[in-house]
């Protein structure tokens, strides 16, 4: 084996549903990335049947039982944050090493994005903002200055988060949401498509509309409201 082959890492995407396939496509098209990896396939508890028949990337195993190897790097691509936490936790406990995806992302001065954050195209993280582990930020989303986004949270495409906003852990923000400055979004909250949020959102609340109002409180489970693809 040559030196370059020895160094090459296997990239494994966790989740083979819609989001997983979008991330795989972005990984493959990311000519500027220059990473020393090759895409091995997906981990998905649903197996090969979750993929379209003509998809040439295989499901190679189940995230709940997969045993990570040293040369493997994992990329989270499960839309529902609660489900993402469930599928990533066994891998984390077994010492899996994660990696990020940053195609055409603008990151401001002193912004701190954890190494496992996956960005869609053309997203922006402004100055002095922190994005915690296993967060997904979809295409054309903007996170303002001095914000914090908690672990596992999902930020939908074309969302705009103003400065100083704190977003908790496992929050689902559907596409096209606007969040006003300085607000706090509690853990496990869900914000419906296109909502304009002008008040703090309590933990576990499902809010929607303009202005966004609490529709109901959720259990911290795999509710349909959290499903992003
Ligand atoms: C989270 C979501 C699925 C919940 O929708 P829901 O289950 O229909 O919500 P509810 O049943 O509580 O709806 C209550 C009412 O609000 C309406 N409503 C639902 N989502 C709404 C939204 N985002 N904005 C305005 N009104 C909305 C419903 O039509 C319903 O109206 P009605 O009582 O007149 O029939 C929805 O808000 C949403 O965001 N959908 C988009 C998901 C999506 O496309 N994600 C991106 C994937 S890539």
Averaged over successive runs of 10 residues, the pLDDT of the chain (229 residues) comes to: 59 97 89 70 97 96 97 96 97 96 94 96 97 98 98 98 98 98 98 98 98 96 88
The CATH number of the structural domain formed by 104-214 is 2.160.10.10
pTM for this predicted structure: 0.94
Residue 4, pLDDT score: 46
142-143/37-43 β-pairing: unpaired
For ligand 1, what atom is nearest to the CA of residue 225? 1
Terminal-to-terminal C-alpha distance of the chain: 40
Euclidean distance between CA atoms 134 and 127, whole angstroms: 20
Determine if ligand 1 sits within 6 Å of the CB of residue 208: yes
Cβ density class 21-58: b for 16+ within 10 Å, e for less: bbbbebbeeeeeeeeebeebbbbbbeeeebbeeeeebe
Residue 20, pLDDT score: 97
Distance 19 CA to ligand 1 centre (A): 20
Domain with CATH 2.160.10.10 in the chain: 104-214
Determine if ligand 1 sits within 6 Å of the CB of residue 193: yes
Fold of 5-93: Rossmann fold (3.40.50)
Determine if ligand 1 sits within 6 Å of the CB of residue 228: yes
Determine if ligand 1 sits within 6 Å of the CB of residue 214: no
Determine if ligand 1 sits within 6 Å of the CB of residue 225: yes
Determine if ligand 1 sits within 6 Å of the CB of residue 144: no
Distance 225 CA to ligand 1 centre (A): 8
Euclidean distance between CA atoms 181 and 152, whole angstroms: 22
Please name every residue paired with 76 in a beta bridge, in sequence order, or none if there are none.
14
Q: How far is CA 66 from CA 8, 20, 27, 155, in A?
A: 20, 17, 22, 27
Distance 211 CA to ligand 1 centre (A): 14
Tokens of 225: 């409201």
Distance 94 CA to ligand 1 centre (A): 38
- Given a contact cutoff of 8 angstroms between Cβ atoms, the answer to whether 4 and 214 are in contact is no
CA-wise closest residue to 151 among 214, 90, 88, 65: 88
For 212, residues 6+ apart whose C-beta sits below 8 A from its C-beta are: 191, 192, 195, 196, 197, 198, 199, 201
Residue 3, pLDDT score: 42
Residue 6, pLDDT score: 53
Distance 80 CA to ligand 1 centre (A): 16
If one counts every other C-beta atom within 10 angstroms of the C-beta of residue 171, the result is 25
196-197/213-217 β-pairing: unpaired
Distance 193 CA to ligand 1 centre (A): 7
Euclidean distance between CA atoms 47 and 29, whole angstroms: 24
Residue 152, pLDDT score: 98
Euclidean distance between CA atoms 97 and 94, whole angstroms: 9
Residue 131, pLDDT score: 98
Determine if ligand 1 sits within 6 Å of the CB of residue 175: yes
Radius of gyration of the chain (CA): 17
Domain with CATH 3.40.50.20 in the chain: 5-93
Distance 73 CA to ligand 1 centre (A): 36
Residue 2, pLDDT score: 42
């Amino acid at each position: 084996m040559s030196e370059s082959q020895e160094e090459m890492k296997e990239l494994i995407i966790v989740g083979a549903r819609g989001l997983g396939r979008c991330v795989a496509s972005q990984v493959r098209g990311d000519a500027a990335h220059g990473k020393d990896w090759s895409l091995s396939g997906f981990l998905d508890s649903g197996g090969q049947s979750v993929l379209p028949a003509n998809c040439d990337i295989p499901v190679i195993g189940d995230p709940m039982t997969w045993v990570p190897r040293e040369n493997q790097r994992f990329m989270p691509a499960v839309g529902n944050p609660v489900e993402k936490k469930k599928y990533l936790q066994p891998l984390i406990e077994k010492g899996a090493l994660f990696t990020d995806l940053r195609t055409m992302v603008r990151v401001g001065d002193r912004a701190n994005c954890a190494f496992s954050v996956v960005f869609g195209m053309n997203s922006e993280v402004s100055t002095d903002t922190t994005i915690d582990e296993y967060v997904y930020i979809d295409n054309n989303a903007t996170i303002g200055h001095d914000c914090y986004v908690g672990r596992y949270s999902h930020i939908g495409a074309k969302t705009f988060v103003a400065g100083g906003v704190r977003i908790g852990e496992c929050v689902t923000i559907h596409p096209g949401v606007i969040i006003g400055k300085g607000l706090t979004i509690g853990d496990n909250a869900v914000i419906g498509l296109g909502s304009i949020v002008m008040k703090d959102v309590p933990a576990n609340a499902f809010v929607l509309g303009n202005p966004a109002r609490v529709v109901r409180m959720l259990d911290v489970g795999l509710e349909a409201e959290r499903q992003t693809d």
